[in-house]
Amino acid sequence: MEKRMENSSGRAVTREPCIIGDDKRRIQLVHDYLVSRSDVDAISDVLPGDAPRELVEAVTANCALDHVGCLIFPSELNAVRAYLQEQGLRPRKPFTGSVVRDRLAARYGVQDERLKAGCLDVQIIHGELSGDSSRGIEVLCVDPDDELTASALRNERIGQHENHVAVRITDPGRVEELRSILARPGGPHPDGGGYNPAQGEGGATVLRFRAAGFTAMGWPRRLEIIVSGRHTEVLLRHLGQTAPGGDSGEETDRRLLRRLTGAWGTQAIRAMVDLDLPDHLAERPLTPKELADRTGVDADRLNRLLRALCHPWIGALAPAGEAFALTALGRRLTRTAPNSMRHLAQMYGGLFYESFGKLADGIRDDAQPFVAVFGQPPFEYFRDHPQQGRLFTRAMAEGAFFPDVAAAVDLTGARTVADIGGGNGELLAHLCDAYPDLKGALLDRPEVIGTARDNLQAHGHLNRCTLHAGSFTDSRDLPAADVYVVSRILHDWDDQTCVSILRAIRDAASGDSTLLIIERPLSDDPEDASVSSLWDLNMLVNNVGGRERTREQYRRLLEEAGFLVVAERPLRLDISVIIARPAA
């Protein structure tokens, strides 16, 4: 972008410095936006309109507003610098915007060989606010003749895809924590990013997020998190949640490789649990030799597993000198961890791992993968194989969301809560913990009732609960209650059975009873970061007729059974409580 430059055909061209009126207007708009808003206002404007308050607070507490940015198409950089000075800004020295370049290249199909030849050069100029060097505007500059078609230029001008609010994280050590918070339900969607070695001393890692809707100025809601230095593993985790097209080249290959080797990580975690490594490491780090002595396995082979468990793609262990220590993830696999997920690891790495090998057959031939592998539908198999049945019941009880249900829904006025299909009673036990005066009831298959009795006894709540063996499609088997809970049950069944379950509850319920449906609703957006679509695939493989459903589909099922949806409360892990009451 110099006054004398070569076009794509290699011929030298000369033109006067130029910045058109539309580009001036874009710069003026981001400048006015920046000076008229506080950090909290600007950050809130680019986050989802219904973002949880704690999410907004996490960003504002750990970040400072760095800049507001826009993309323009000037023929000469000096004209941009001059205009910034006219506006009372102090322009810094331009630097190459490699992350933006890769994003534009992916969006418009510019080939890698063209990029390597120097095409699609993106230059970034920061203009500091007078009297406040910590904040400013960012102008992304692309030559209008540089490898983008006329339609691409028009699309960028109309869509304003690169307009964004950028914040700089104040403590680089908390970047992964902040990324994880933003990726939770109710937060924005990951939207690419990268490492730019030219951005500041030591370069900078950029994580981009987007949310539905538009800002007060009519721009797409886009948030950019900037952290000084290279944070490769954080970036990889972020890109792993980004929709395709957000990056290119080696990062794409690395993300694909991570997916292809995911089975190895699943089996490594299962082996970790089968060898009781989390419990051996619960008190202190141990060396491979010490762990080998405790588990009775070969130290060299065990060391190879331990090293793999340290890999950031797994992250269950961390090196501690010559020893190995549990990470926060690894501690979730100990027997004593609250809502331990060790049985989930054994289930997903065992039976469900085998059945997923028949996924393609289930799509192509209309076969049921679990039945094809094990010869029976899941619940019949678990009935005839008690050991696996107990594992399944325990795995399904390892819901990290259980403690949240009592906080999400106020049961203060309720006298009795009935958990329909309540498994081993873990959720009911949490509700009894939270409400000391609440009476409990649990309905499930006869072979499960014994496990529920033992678990409720262990929690000290058996004297407050009644246990009912029966069918949840027969209202005569259902206990009377003020509140009915159906947790992760409806997704196991086809629509007709779901309506039968709900109608049985409606027949047993009084006119002022409350029904709580706990499920993982499918998003209407296929690119949503929720894991619901993956669980829907799991239902296709490991169930007969089961599926995850959208909120609208649940609403229709409830209405057909005589209920009206009155509210919804989000829980962790993309799960929600849908609150319904009997229709008049």
Which residue's entry shows tokens 């985790």? 237
Residue 418's beta-bridge partner residues?
441, 484
Sheet bearing 416-420, strands edge to edge: 465-469, 439-444, 416-420, 483-487, 514-519, 576-582, 563-570
> What is the phi-psi region of residue 189: left when phi exceeds 0, alpha when psi lies from -120 to 50, beta otherwise?
beta
343 is catalytic: no
Burial class (CB in 10 A: 0-12, 13-18, 19+), 324: buried
Q: Are 510 and 479 in contact (CB under 8 A)?
A: no
Which residue's entry shows tokens 């699943």? 266
Structure tokens, 515: 């029904």
Helix (H/G/I), strand (E/B), else coil: 349: coil
Q: How far apart are the first and last CA of the chain?
A: 70
Residue in 67, 231, 343, 491 annotated catalytic: 491
CA distance 304 to 395: 28
Q: How many of the other CB atoms lie within 10 Å of CB of 443? A: 26
If you count them, how many residues does the chain have? 584
Which residue's entry shows tokens 């869509």? 159
Helix (H/G/I), strand (E/B), else coil: 435: coil
Q: Are 117 and 92 in contact (CB under 8 A)?
A: no
CA distance 497 to 475: 14
Angle between helices 262-274 and 299-310 (to 10 degrees): 130
> What is the phi-psi region of residue 160: left when phi exceeds 0, alpha when psi lies from -120 to 50, beta otherwise?
left
Residue 89 has, within 13 A of its CA and on its CB side, a CA count of 28
Helix (H/G/I), strand (E/B), else coil: 258: helix
Which residue's entry shows tokens 């609150």? 579
- List the catalytic residues: 491
